[in-house]
Structure 1
Amino acid sequence: MSAMAEASDKIGVVNMSSIFQQLPERAAAAQKLENEFKERTAELQSMEHDLQTKIRHLQRDGLTMKPSERISMEQEVIQKREAFSNKVQIFDQDNRRRQIEERNKILDRIQNAVKKIARIKGYDIVFDQNTVAYAVQSKDITDDVLKQVQ
Protein backbone atom coordinates (compact mmCIF):
# COMPACT_ATOMS: atom_id res chain seq x y z
CA MET A 1 0.00 0.00 0.00
CA SER A 2 2.80 2.42 0.81
CA ALA A 3 4.36 1.75 -2.59
CA MET A 4 1.13 2.88 -4.25
CA ALA A 5 1.04 6.00 -2.09
CA GLU A 6 4.63 6.78 -2.97
CA ALA A 7 3.95 6.24 -6.68
CA SER A 8 0.93 8.52 -6.57
CA ASP A 9 3.16 11.31 -5.26
CA LYS A 10 5.11 11.11 -8.50
CA ILE A 11 2.11 11.58 -10.80
CA GLY A 12 1.14 15.02 -12.06
CA VAL A 13 -1.47 16.48 -14.38
CA VAL A 14 -1.37 19.28 -16.91
CA ASN A 15 -4.11 20.91 -18.96
CA MET A 16 -2.51 20.89 -22.42
CA SER A 17 -5.49 22.45 -24.22
CA SER A 18 -5.64 25.34 -21.75
CA ILE A 19 -1.95 26.07 -22.25
CA PHE A 20 -2.32 25.85 -26.02
CA GLN A 21 -5.27 28.27 -25.99
CA GLN A 22 -3.47 30.80 -23.79
CA LEU A 23 -0.25 31.03 -25.79
CA PRO A 24 0.21 34.20 -27.83
CA GLU A 25 2.14 32.13 -30.39
CA ARG A 26 -1.13 30.49 -31.39
CA ALA A 27 -2.57 33.82 -32.58
CA ALA A 28 0.74 34.72 -34.22
CA ALA A 29 0.76 31.40 -36.08
CA ALA A 30 -2.81 31.98 -37.27
CA GLN A 31 -1.85 35.44 -38.55
CA LYS A 32 1.25 34.02 -40.23
CA LEU A 33 -0.86 31.42 -42.05
CA GLU A 34 -3.43 34.01 -43.06
CA ASN A 35 -0.69 36.14 -44.61
CA GLU A 36 0.90 33.11 -46.24
CA PHE A 37 -2.35 32.12 -47.96
CA LYS A 38 -3.72 35.62 -48.61
CA GLU A 39 -2.84 35.75 -52.32
CA ARG A 40 -4.19 32.27 -53.02
CA THR A 41 -7.40 33.08 -51.15
CA ALA A 42 -7.87 36.24 -53.24
CA GLU A 43 -7.21 34.27 -56.43
CA LEU A 44 -9.80 31.65 -55.46
CA GLN A 45 -12.34 34.36 -54.64
CA SER A 46 -11.73 35.97 -58.01
CA MET A 47 -12.08 32.64 -59.81
CA GLU A 48 -15.33 31.92 -57.94
CA HIS A 49 -16.73 35.34 -58.81
CA ASP A 50 -15.80 34.90 -62.49
CA LEU A 51 -17.39 31.44 -62.55
CA GLN A 52 -20.61 32.68 -60.94
CA THR A 53 -20.78 35.56 -63.43
CA LYS A 54 -20.43 33.16 -66.36
CA ILE A 55 -23.10 30.83 -64.91
CA ARG A 56 -25.54 33.73 -64.43
CA HIS A 57 -24.85 34.94 -67.97
CA LEU A 58 -25.48 31.46 -69.34
CA GLN A 59 -28.69 31.07 -67.33
CA ARG A 60 -29.95 34.51 -68.31
CA ASP A 61 -29.02 34.51 -71.99
CA GLY A 62 -28.60 30.81 -72.79
CA LEU A 63 -31.97 30.42 -74.47
CA THR A 64 -31.40 33.37 -76.80
CA MET A 65 -27.83 32.43 -77.82
CA LYS A 66 -26.92 30.60 -80.95
CA PRO A 67 -26.48 26.89 -80.16
CA SER A 68 -22.76 26.98 -80.95
CA GLU A 69 -22.31 30.01 -78.70
CA ARG A 70 -24.25 28.35 -75.85
CA ILE A 71 -22.27 25.10 -76.18
CA SER A 72 -19.01 27.05 -76.13
CA MET A 73 -20.13 28.95 -73.01
CA GLU A 74 -21.23 25.70 -71.29
CA GLN A 75 -17.85 24.10 -72.02
CA GLU A 76 -16.08 27.16 -70.67
CA VAL A 77 -18.16 27.01 -67.47
CA ILE A 78 -17.37 23.31 -67.05
CA GLN A 79 -13.64 23.93 -67.52
CA LYS A 80 -13.63 26.85 -65.12
CA ARG A 81 -15.60 24.87 -62.54
CA GLU A 82 -13.11 21.96 -62.75
CA ALA A 83 -10.11 24.29 -62.52
CA PHE A 84 -11.67 26.07 -59.54
CA SER A 85 -12.49 22.79 -57.84
CA ASN A 86 -8.94 21.51 -58.29
CA LYS A 87 -7.41 24.73 -56.95
CA VAL A 88 -9.72 24.68 -53.93
CA GLN A 89 -8.76 21.09 -53.17
CA ILE A 90 -5.03 21.85 -53.42
CA PHE A 91 -5.47 25.00 -51.33
CA ASP A 92 -7.33 23.08 -48.62
CA GLN A 93 -4.63 20.40 -48.49
CA ASP A 94 -1.81 22.95 -48.30
CA ASN A 95 -3.63 25.02 -45.71
CA ARG A 96 -4.41 21.99 -43.55
CA ARG A 97 -0.80 20.76 -43.79
CA ARG A 98 0.58 24.15 -42.73
CA GLN A 99 -1.89 24.43 -39.86
CA ILE A 100 -0.77 21.04 -38.59
CA GLU A 101 2.90 22.05 -38.91
CA GLU A 102 2.37 25.26 -36.93
CA ARG A 103 0.25 23.51 -34.29
CA ASN A 104 2.90 20.80 -33.88
CA LYS A 105 5.63 23.41 -33.35
CA ILE A 106 3.63 24.90 -30.49
CA LEU A 107 2.76 21.50 -29.05
CA ASP A 108 6.46 20.51 -29.13
CA ARG A 109 7.33 23.60 -27.08
CA ILE A 110 4.60 22.75 -24.58
CA GLN A 111 5.72 19.11 -24.40
CA ASN A 112 9.32 20.14 -23.76
CA ALA A 113 8.17 22.47 -20.99
CA VAL A 114 6.08 19.68 -19.44
CA LYS A 115 9.14 17.40 -19.41
CA LYS A 116 11.30 20.10 -17.86
CA ILE A 117 8.79 20.93 -15.10
CA ALA A 118 8.17 17.22 -14.44
CA ARG A 119 11.93 16.64 -13.97
CA ILE A 120 12.25 19.68 -11.70
CA LYS A 121 9.29 18.62 -9.54
CA GLY A 122 10.28 14.94 -9.56
CA TYR A 123 7.23 13.55 -11.37
CA ASP A 124 7.56 10.17 -13.04
CA ILE A 125 4.32 10.48 -14.98
CA VAL A 126 2.30 13.49 -16.14
CA PHE A 127 -1.18 12.98 -17.57
CA ASP A 128 -3.22 15.41 -19.58
CA GLN A 129 -5.97 16.68 -17.32
CA ASN A 130 -8.58 15.86 -19.96
CA THR A 131 -7.78 12.14 -19.60
CA VAL A 132 -8.02 12.04 -15.80
CA ALA A 133 -11.30 11.74 -13.93
CA TYR A 134 -9.95 13.45 -10.82
CA ALA A 135 -6.70 14.92 -9.56
CA VAL A 136 -5.93 17.08 -6.56
CA GLN A 137 -4.94 20.64 -7.38
CA SER A 138 -1.50 20.16 -5.83
CA LYS A 139 -0.63 17.72 -8.64
CA ASP A 140 -1.54 20.21 -11.41
CA ILE A 141 1.52 21.71 -13.11
CA THR A 142 -0.40 23.67 -15.75
CA ASP A 143 0.54 27.12 -14.40
CA ASP A 144 4.22 26.16 -14.13
CA VAL A 145 4.26 24.87 -17.70
CA LEU A 146 2.47 27.97 -18.98
CA LYS A 147 5.07 30.20 -17.31
CA GLN A 148 7.84 28.08 -18.85
CA VAL A 149 6.57 28.39 -22.43
CA GLN A 150 5.75 32.10 -22.26
Structure 2
Amino acid sequence: MKKFLYAVTMGCVLIFSMSVQASNKIAVVNVVNIFQQLPEFAIITHKLENEFRDRTNTLQSMEHELQMKIQHLQRDRLTMKENEQLSMEKDILTQREKFNTEAQIFEQDNRRRQIEERNKILNKIQHAVEKVASLQGYDLVIDQSAVAYFIKSKDITTDVLKQVK
Protein backbone atom coordinates (compact mmCIF):
# COMPACT_ATOMS: atom_id res chain seq x y z
CA MET A 1 0.00 0.00 0.00
CA LYS A 2 2.85 2.38 0.84
CA LYS A 3 4.48 1.68 -2.52
CA PHE A 4 1.21 2.41 -4.31
CA LEU A 5 0.75 5.75 -2.49
CA TYR A 6 4.38 6.62 -3.17
CA ALA A 7 3.95 5.83 -6.87
CA VAL A 8 0.74 7.90 -7.08
CA THR A 9 2.42 10.82 -5.27
CA MET A 10 5.45 10.70 -7.56
CA GLY A 11 3.17 10.55 -10.61
CA CYS A 12 1.30 13.65 -9.45
CA VAL A 13 4.56 15.48 -8.79
CA LEU A 14 5.86 14.60 -12.26
CA ILE A 15 2.64 15.69 -13.96
CA PHE A 16 2.61 18.95 -12.01
CA SER A 17 6.29 19.68 -12.75
CA MET A 18 5.75 18.97 -16.46
CA SER A 19 2.84 21.41 -16.58
CA VAL A 20 4.93 24.05 -14.80
CA GLN A 21 7.79 23.52 -17.26
CA ALA A 22 5.43 23.72 -20.21
CA SER A 23 4.28 27.16 -19.08
CA ASN A 24 7.82 28.56 -19.28
CA LYS A 25 8.48 30.51 -22.44
CA ILE A 26 12.00 30.04 -23.73
CA ALA A 27 13.65 32.03 -26.52
CA VAL A 28 16.99 31.91 -28.31
CA VAL A 29 19.20 34.82 -29.35
CA ASN A 30 22.38 34.90 -31.44
CA VAL A 31 24.56 37.39 -29.57
CA VAL A 32 27.56 37.00 -31.90
CA ASN A 33 25.42 37.79 -34.93
CA ILE A 34 24.00 40.89 -33.25
CA PHE A 35 27.47 41.98 -32.15
CA GLN A 36 28.85 41.73 -35.68
CA GLN A 37 25.88 43.49 -37.30
CA LEU A 38 26.00 46.53 -35.05
CA PRO A 39 27.41 49.69 -36.63
CA GLU A 40 29.27 50.33 -33.36
CA PHE A 41 31.37 47.23 -34.02
CA ALA A 42 32.99 48.76 -37.12
CA ILE A 43 33.29 52.16 -35.45
CA ILE A 44 35.01 50.73 -32.40
CA THR A 45 37.33 48.59 -34.52
CA HIS A 46 38.36 51.69 -36.47
CA LYS A 47 38.68 53.73 -33.27
CA LEU A 48 40.98 51.15 -31.68
CA GLU A 49 43.11 50.93 -34.82
CA ASN A 50 43.56 54.71 -34.75
CA GLU A 51 44.25 54.68 -31.02
CA PHE A 52 47.06 52.14 -31.38
CA ARG A 53 48.37 53.16 -34.82
CA ASP A 54 51.38 55.13 -33.54
CA ARG A 55 52.47 52.34 -31.22
CA THR A 56 51.98 49.77 -34.00
CA ASN A 57 54.15 51.80 -36.34
CA THR A 58 56.80 52.21 -33.67
CA LEU A 59 56.89 48.47 -33.03
CA GLN A 60 57.08 47.73 -36.74
CA SER A 61 60.01 50.09 -37.18
CA MET A 62 61.75 48.60 -34.14
CA GLU A 63 61.28 45.13 -35.61
CA HIS A 64 62.56 46.23 -39.01
CA GLU A 65 65.65 47.87 -37.48
CA LEU A 66 66.34 44.75 -35.43
CA GLN A 67 66.06 42.52 -38.50
CA MET A 68 68.43 44.78 -40.42
CA LYS A 69 71.04 44.57 -37.65
CA ILE A 70 70.72 40.78 -37.50
CA GLN A 71 71.17 40.55 -41.28
CA HIS A 72 74.15 42.88 -41.13
CA LEU A 73 75.75 40.77 -38.41
CA GLN A 74 75.14 37.52 -40.29
CA ARG A 75 76.43 38.96 -43.55
CA ASP A 76 79.56 40.67 -42.18
CA ARG A 77 80.42 38.39 -39.26
CA LEU A 78 83.52 36.94 -40.91
CA THR A 79 84.99 40.34 -41.79
CA MET A 80 84.23 42.04 -38.45
CA LYS A 81 86.67 42.36 -35.60
CA GLU A 82 85.79 40.30 -32.55
CA ASN A 83 85.03 43.30 -30.33
CA GLU A 84 82.77 44.81 -33.06
CA GLN A 85 80.98 41.51 -33.38
CA LEU A 86 80.48 41.22 -29.60
CA SER A 87 79.31 44.81 -29.40
CA MET A 88 76.79 44.28 -32.19
CA GLU A 89 75.52 41.03 -30.64
CA LYS A 90 75.08 42.79 -27.30
CA ASP A 91 73.26 45.67 -29.02
CA ILE A 92 70.98 43.19 -30.82
CA LEU A 93 70.16 41.37 -27.57
CA THR A 94 69.39 44.64 -25.80
CA GLN A 95 67.22 45.84 -28.67
CA ARG A 96 65.42 42.47 -28.86
CA GLU A 97 64.63 42.58 -25.12
CA LYS A 98 63.33 46.14 -25.47
CA PHE A 99 61.22 45.13 -28.47
CA ASN A 100 59.77 42.10 -26.65
CA THR A 101 58.91 44.22 -23.62
CA GLU A 102 57.26 46.91 -25.72
CA ALA A 103 55.35 44.28 -27.73
CA GLN A 104 54.03 42.63 -24.56
CA ILE A 105 52.90 45.95 -23.11
CA PHE A 106 51.26 46.83 -26.42
CA GLU A 107 49.40 43.49 -26.56
CA GLN A 108 48.17 43.87 -22.98
CA ASP A 109 46.96 47.43 -23.55
CA ASN A 110 45.32 46.51 -26.85
CA ARG A 111 43.60 43.46 -25.35
CA ARG A 112 42.41 45.48 -22.35
CA ARG A 113 40.88 48.18 -24.56
CA GLN A 114 39.22 45.62 -26.83
CA ILE A 115 37.66 43.94 -23.79
CA GLU A 116 36.44 47.29 -22.44
CA GLU A 117 34.79 48.22 -25.72
CA ARG A 118 33.36 44.72 -26.25
CA ASN A 119 31.83 44.77 -22.76
CA LYS A 120 30.14 48.12 -23.48
CA ILE A 121 28.46 46.64 -26.55
CA LEU A 122 27.58 43.41 -24.74
CA ASN A 123 25.92 45.38 -21.94
CA LYS A 124 23.86 47.23 -24.54
CA ILE A 125 22.86 43.90 -26.12
CA GLN A 126 22.04 42.46 -22.69
CA HIS A 127 19.67 45.32 -21.91
CA ALA A 128 18.00 44.91 -25.31
CA VAL A 129 17.56 41.16 -24.71
CA GLU A 130 15.99 41.85 -21.32
CA LYS A 131 13.63 44.42 -22.82
CA VAL A 132 12.53 42.18 -25.71
CA ALA A 133 12.13 39.19 -23.40
CA SER A 134 9.97 41.14 -20.98
CA LEU A 135 7.86 42.66 -23.77
CA GLN A 136 7.26 39.28 -25.42
CA GLY A 137 6.80 37.43 -22.14
CA TYR A 138 9.79 35.09 -22.25
CA ASP A 139 10.93 33.57 -18.98
CA LEU A 140 14.30 32.40 -20.27
CA VAL A 141 16.56 33.54 -23.13
CA ILE A 142 19.52 31.39 -24.11
CA ASP A 143 22.39 32.21 -26.44
CA GLN A 144 22.17 30.21 -29.66
CA SER A 145 25.72 28.89 -29.26
CA ALA A 146 24.62 27.04 -26.11
CA VAL A 147 21.68 25.27 -27.77
CA ALA A 148 21.82 22.13 -29.90
CA TYR A 149 18.37 22.59 -31.47
CA PHE A 150 15.67 25.24 -31.48
CA ILE A 151 12.62 26.24 -33.43
CA LYS A 152 13.14 29.35 -35.56
CA SER A 153 9.97 30.89 -34.17
CA LYS A 154 11.70 31.06 -30.77
CA ASP A 155 14.62 33.10 -32.19
CA ILE A 156 14.41 36.74 -31.05
CA THR A 157 17.69 37.85 -32.62
CA THR A 158 16.09 40.22 -35.15
CA ASP A 159 13.91 41.82 -32.46
CA VAL A 160 16.94 42.37 -30.23
CA LEU A 161 18.93 43.76 -33.15
CA LYS A 162 16.14 46.27 -33.90
CA GLN A 163 16.08 47.23 -30.23
CA VAL A 164 19.84 47.76 -30.06
CA LYS A 165 20.02 49.88 -33.23
TM-score category of the 2 structures, normalised to the smaller one: over 0.9
1:133 deviates by 2.2
Aligned twin of 2:114:
99
Quote the offset at 1:67 in angstroms: 1.2
As a proportion of its length, which structure holds more helix? 2
Report the TM-score, using the length of structure 2 for normalisation. 0.85
Note the C-alpha offset of 1:58: 0.9
Residue 57 of structure 1 and its aligned partner are, at CA, apart by 1.1
- Find the counterpart in structure 2 of residue 130 from structure 1: 145
Structure 1 equivalent of residue 51 of structure 2: 36
Per-residue CA deviation, residues 45-82 of structure 1 (Å, 9 max, x unaligned), is: 11011111111111111221111111111110110011
For 1:130 and 1:82, the matched residues in 2 are separated by 41
Superposed structure 1 runs of 4+ greater than 6 Å apart: none
SS in 2 for 1:21: helix
How far residue 136 of structure 1 moved from its aligned partner, in angstroms, is 2.0
Alignment of 1:3 onto 2:20: yes
Match of 1:108 among 107, 123, 131: 123
Q: Give 1:41's aligned amino acid.
A: T
Match of 2:88 in 1: 73
The alignment-based identity, stated in percent, is 64
**Amino acid across the alignment from 1:3:** V
How many residue pairs match? The answer is 148
Secondary structure at the residue paired with 2:99? helix
**Other-structure match for 2:15:** none
Are residue 60 (structure 1) and residue 75 (structure 2) matched?
yes
Stretches of structure 1 lacking an aligned partner (at least 5 in a row): none
Instruction: Give the Å deviation of 1:4.
Output: 2.6
Specify every segment of 5 or more residues in structure 2 that has no aligned partner in the other structure, as ranges.
1-17
Partner Cα separation in structure 1 for residue 58 and residue 92 of structure 2? 17
- Deviation of 1:124 after TM superposition, in Å, equals 1.2
Greater C-alpha radius of gyration: 2
> 1:134 offset after TM fit, Å?
2.2
Q: RMSD of the alignment, in Å?
A: 1.1
| TM norm structure 1 | 0.93
Aligned partners of 2:88, 2:149: CA distance in 1, in Å?
A: 65
